[in-house]
């Protein structure tokens, strides 16, 4: 059973740590955990908008353990996930992150597959460990992405590198992510080191911005400028993907776990 843990950093409660948990399934996600994860960003943003003096000034999202950030949607729960409405924003993690006005730092510790990849792309800053691996298997599964892989990834790493990952199926390592500009700073030796840097950046941001309003305006200027052509692309991506989901034989596609080429059971998206 996947879950989402939300806690305030002991040394500074203005920094919120959101952890995708479920190491037995490599932190995969189902409909319930998607809602829990989305709600962490939705609630923090609602408090910010209502000026309730929320303690959250920065959110750090990561995966439980050292081997996985998130392996994406669990195939055993995939039918329920792909039958969700396009407008079910309560379970749309990426939409919640895109609408969140609180800066988000993502620490990718290990694999980030499909939905996990897209959640990382939705953060403002991405930090990676040396065992980080970004993998897009939508084409292999016969699915279209709806959370940004076909629109955000080309803008982050360039069209050719995005094709390398999404069309040719090449995994991107932590070193690739930093070299291409998907991740920032450097490749960290461990999750602990990456989390220390994430916390340092959060504190530095809070010190320099001095107020939530300054940070919000700074984010908005960057994001709105970046979205000029991107917004329409995202709209088209979502519409086409959700139209496809309605036509798929989900009972047949997710009846039994798929077997990878190496003989290992692939149980997540």
Helices (H), the chain: 31-49, 78-82, 93-99, 115-121, 138-141, 152-157, 159-166, 174-180, 191-209, 212-245, 250-253
| Predicted pLDDT of residue 267 | 45
Asked which of 21-30, 130-139, 209-218, 252-261 is least confident by mean pLDDT, the reply is 252-261
Tell me, what's the pLDDT at 171? 97
Mean pLDDT of the chain: 88
Domain boundaries, the chain: 3-189+219-266
Query: Which tokens in the block code for residue 112?
Result: 């980030």
Q: Does the domain spanning 3-189+219-266 belong to CATH 3.90.226.10?
A: yes
- In the predicted structure, residue 256 carries a pLDDT above the cut 80: no
Q: pTM score, two decimals? A: 0.85
How far is 18 from 41, CA to CA, in rounded Å?
9
pLDDT score for 257: 58
Instruction: Please give the share of the chain, as a percent, with pLDDT higher than 90.
Output: 62
Specify the pLDDT at position 265: 46
Q: Determine the pLDDT at residue 54.
A: 56
Q: What are phi and psi of 15, to 5 degrees?
A: -100, 120
Bigger pLDDT: 264 vs 47 = 47
E strand map for 50-145: 58-63, 68-70, 104-108, 111-113, 125-129, 133-135
């Amino acid at each position: 059973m996947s879950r989402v843990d939300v806690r305030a950093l002991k040394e500074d409660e203005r920094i919120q740590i959101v952890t995708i948990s479920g190491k037995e399934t490599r932190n995969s996600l189902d409909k319930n955990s998607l809602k829990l994860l989305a709600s962490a960003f939705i609630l923090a943003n609602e408090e910010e908008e209502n000026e309730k003096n929320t303690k959250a000034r920065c959110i750090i999202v990561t995966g439980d353990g050292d081997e996985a950030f998130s392996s994406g949607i669990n195939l055993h729960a995939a039918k329920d996930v792909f039958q969700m409405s396009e407008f079910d924003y309560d379970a749309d993690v990426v939409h919640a992150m895109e609408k969140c006005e609180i800066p988000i730092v993502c620490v990718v510790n290990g694999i980030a597959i499909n939905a996990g990849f897209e959640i990382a792309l939705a953060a403002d800053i991405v930090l990676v460990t040396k065992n980080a691996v970004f993998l897009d298997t939508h084409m292999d599964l016969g699915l279209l992405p709806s959370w940004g892989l076909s629109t955000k990834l080309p803008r982050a790493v360039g069209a050719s590198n995005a094709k390398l990952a999404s069309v040719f199926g090449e995994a991107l390592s932590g070193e690739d992510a930093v070299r291409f500009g998907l991740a920032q700073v450097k490749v960290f030796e461990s999750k602990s080191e990456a989390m220390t840097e994430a916390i340092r950046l959060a504190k530095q941001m809070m010190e320099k911005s001095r107020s939530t309003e300054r940070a919000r305006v700074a984010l908005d200027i960057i994001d709105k400028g970046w979205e000029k052509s991107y917004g329409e692309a995202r709209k088209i991506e979502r519409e086409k993907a959700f139209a496809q989901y309605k036509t798929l034989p989900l009972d047949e596609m997710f009846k039994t776990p798929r077997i990878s080429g190496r003989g290992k059971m692939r149980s997540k998206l």
